[in-house]
Structure 1
Amino acid sequence: MTSAEFPAPRFPEWPQYGEEERAGLTRALEQGQWWRVGGAEVSAFEREFADFHGAPYALAVTNGTHALELAVELLGIRPGEEVIVPAFTFISSSMAVQRLGAVPVPVDVLPDTYNIDPAAAAAAVTDRTRAIMPVHMAGFFSDMDALGKLATDAGVAILQDAAHAHGARWRGQRVGEFGSIAAFSFQNGKLMTAGEGGALLVPDRETYDEGFVRHSCGRPPSDRRYLHETAGTNYRMNEFSGAVLRAQLARLPEQIARREANWPILRALLAAIPGVEPQGRDDRCDVVPHYMAMFRLPGITEERRNAVVDALVARGIPAFVAFRPIYRTDAFWSAPTEPLSVDDLARRCPTTEEIGRDCVWLHHRTLLGDEAGLTAIASTLTAVLSEH
């Protein structure tokens, strides 16, 4: 059957919006102040986002990459010092470290959850290590028990890259309840969005105040005489984005519940297809928001995997190739790195090599649909694999 003959499944559109977003935009427009220092929307969003995640404070910023960069600054990480990162992640995880002159140390991930391998992280700790950055891949929490112990034993910080983990829980704990800084993204495809945007969860008022000054060109909110206190830049979120994100946050719990209900159905359907292995779940993950629906095709070549994704897209399935290992990008090598080669890092990260070659992800809007859509995904994938 050709793609033209194959019936395309229907999935909910993304982003989702309604009267709540329209009302928020009007509210921001009519308040007469469109930037955060004079307006009320961003500050209100920060309070609501912090409360939702169990954190004392949240600081809204321009995007998730800037959130990570600011977090690295707030941790006092200096040029030449090291941050351990998973090799399987979006490039912002390492780039934020490199932009400040520090060195990302890629380590391998686990073959089932695709999250950072605590044993690999432990093996990479040196006297230059200042932080470990778990990325909660697709909203599945990294092993915070093992990583927390490792960080305590090594005397280093945890910096959570929570770009996929809005609303996630680990053994009852929300992202903001671990006492560590966590960075979020609100880019257009994320679980809640204003097109772009980001936020930090921070554990105390002192860190929030320092973050505010650094994200506002070194100026505290009360400054009227341009007495810039420290080096910084403009990472301020605008009032329109803050208003939209307040509405997005309000609809997030229902969306998470729907995705959580649909993932076991889709996972079972995918697991029944020969040669398909869905992403695994650590039983300690109480709530997974499912930023992506991910699965592997073990043994497939990268070229064939890419062809499978192209065929799925042609048949109406919002599919994507997974991240390539960060060290297999030119960007990684354009900034500070360890004195190692691509081949050296590939040998250190064999699971990442495999996942980067054989993994596929589906947009989370597929999990907001009905069971007919989930069945269509499985039947379409079965047909595509038989042809490729």
Structure 2
Amino acid sequence: MTVPFLDLKAINLSQGAELEAAFQRVLNSGWYILGQEVANFEQRFAAYCGAAQGIGVANGLDAIMLVLKASGIGPGDEVIVPSNTFIATWLAVSQCGATPVPVEPVEATYNLDPARVAAAITPRTKAIVPVHLYGQPADMDPLLALAEQHGLLVLEDAAQAHGARYRGRRTGSLGQAAAFSFYPGKNLGALGDAGGITTSDAALAERIRTYRNYGSQQKYHNLVQGFNSRLDEMQAAFLNVKLEALDAGNAQRRAIAARYTELLAGSGLLLPHVPDWAEPVWHLYVVRHPQRDALAAKLAEQGIGTIVHYPIAPHMQQAYAALGFQEGDFPIAEAIHREVLSLPIGPHMTLAQADQVAAAVRAALAAL
């Protein structure tokens, strides 16, 4: 029996009746942009995260970019980003005209290393963007202390961490603002592209709302050169439905991750490390092996779906060739991107399927 990496159809059909009712509600409302569905979701998701304000936007990349723009970050400024992350984190910085400054992670957790961040701060640094990679919170307190010392913005990239906790506090309430993606495959996923921002800074929230809507607070009156980046009513209605299932889905992901960790101990794989202050939501369960590609191929032969998150570090992408980085400049990120493999995990995966995956992994490793 095959085990898909993630069964989006099953996830959404499990709430099919509610999603269809949400569709009909929006269709019949006659209001499709920045209406009550968006307002309800913004309020509910902000409260879920422990933040005062929520702003729905078009996608996760825009969420990061809009916070930076609304914070006055632009050409000549530097923004510290992880050397190992999905490229959207870097792209958002570049779209503001600022320069992404990559910093290596703590290798055990894959998240930003505060000591290396401290060494990377210059007079041009304006912000730190820690990514809660794979659904595990970054070590925020040292980063927040650095930011306070140097007068920097801390913007959480929480695109993979809906509901995760750091020292008991949910992501989305840890920095001055947080950016979320609601891409369909996320722990809280829409049925299309969608994104959101949480913050407890009312003035910042007002500026973000202005930027997301053509730079306008009043129709046809434009205060700044803004963007068209609005969460639409339909996706907000779907997200209002799916928010109800987020905690249960995260609990199942934790159960799958615990089973993997138990069954794959001593297998020769490098398994995820969870500090005692972190409560991950296991958007991904990522293992490492020096023969990653061969392992993935053997698992595919057994019907096990895997994905590499991510095969190329941002500094080695053609898109950032102009920054002049060379292979070897960020050896931890490069090693991670060569060796990581994501195993199947999701809210509708069963423990029996996790057992099947673990057995297939051990068989594949034995055959390498």
TM-score, scaled to structure 1 = 0.89
| Partner residue in 1 for 2:306 | 319
* Partner AA of 2:282 in structure 1: H
Deviation at 1:280, TM superposition (A): 0.6
**1:259 and 2:263 equivalent?**
no
| Partner residue in 1 for 2:349 | 369
* Aligned residue runs from structure 1 range 1-388, under 5 A: 7-9=1-3, 13-15=7-9, 16-17=11-12, 18=15, 19-36=17-34, 39-194=35-190, 195-220=192-217, 223-224=218-219, 226-273=220-267, 275-285=268-278, 287-297=279-289, 300=290, 304-323=291-310, 324-333=312-321, 337=323, 340-343=324-327, 346-347=328-329, 349-365=330-346, 368-388=348-368
Residues 171-180 or 276-285, more deviating: 171-180
Name the CA distance, whole Å, in 1 between partners of 2:178 and 2:164. Answer: 12
The answer to whether the 8 Å contact 1:10/1:373 transfers is no
Name the CA distance, whole Å, in 2 between partners of 1:104 and 1:370. Answer: 40
Residues 210-219 or 13-22, more deviating: 13-22
Deviations 1:273-314, CA, capped at 9 Å, x for gaps = 1x20111101101x32111011111xx1xxx42232233234
The answer to whether the 8 Å contact 2:71/2:204 transfers is no
RMSD over equivalenced CA pairs, Å: 1.7
The answer to whether the 8 Å contact 1:110/1:117 transfers is yes
Query: Aligned residues: percent identity?
Result: 35
Distance 1:10 1:61, change over 3 A: closer
Unaligned runs of 5+ in 2: none
The answer to whether the 8 Å contact 2:156/2:175 transfers is no
* Partner AA of 1:250 in structure 2: E
The answer to whether the 8 Å contact 1:114/1:137 transfers is yes
Paired residues in the alignment total 362
Distance 1:254 1:362, change over 3 A: same
The answer to whether the 8 Å contact 2:176/2:199 transfers is yes
Name the CA distance, whole Å, in 1 between partners of 2:206 and 2:5. Answer: 43
Deviation at 1:177, TM superposition (A): 2.7
Distance 1:88 1:179, change over 3 A: closer
Residues 263-272 or 75-84, more deviating: 263-272
SS at match of 2:307: strand
Deviation at 1:261, TM superposition (A): 2.4
Name the CA distance, whole Å, in 2 between partners of 1:259 and 1:244. Answer: 21
SS at match of 2:180: strand
The answer to whether the 8 Å contact 1:176/1:203 transfers is no
Residues 378-387 or 194-203, more deviating: 378-387
Name the CA distance, whole Å, in 2 between partners of 1:59 and 1:363. Answer: 31
Residues 10-19 or 307-316, more deviating: 10-19
The answer to whether the 8 Å contact 1:133/1:161 transfers is yes
Runs in 1 of length 4+ with deviation above 3 angstroms?
9-12
Deviation at 1:256, TM superposition (A): 1.0
Name the CA distance, whole Å, in 1 between partners of 2:233 and 2:90. Answer: 29
* Partner AA of 2:19 in structure 1: E
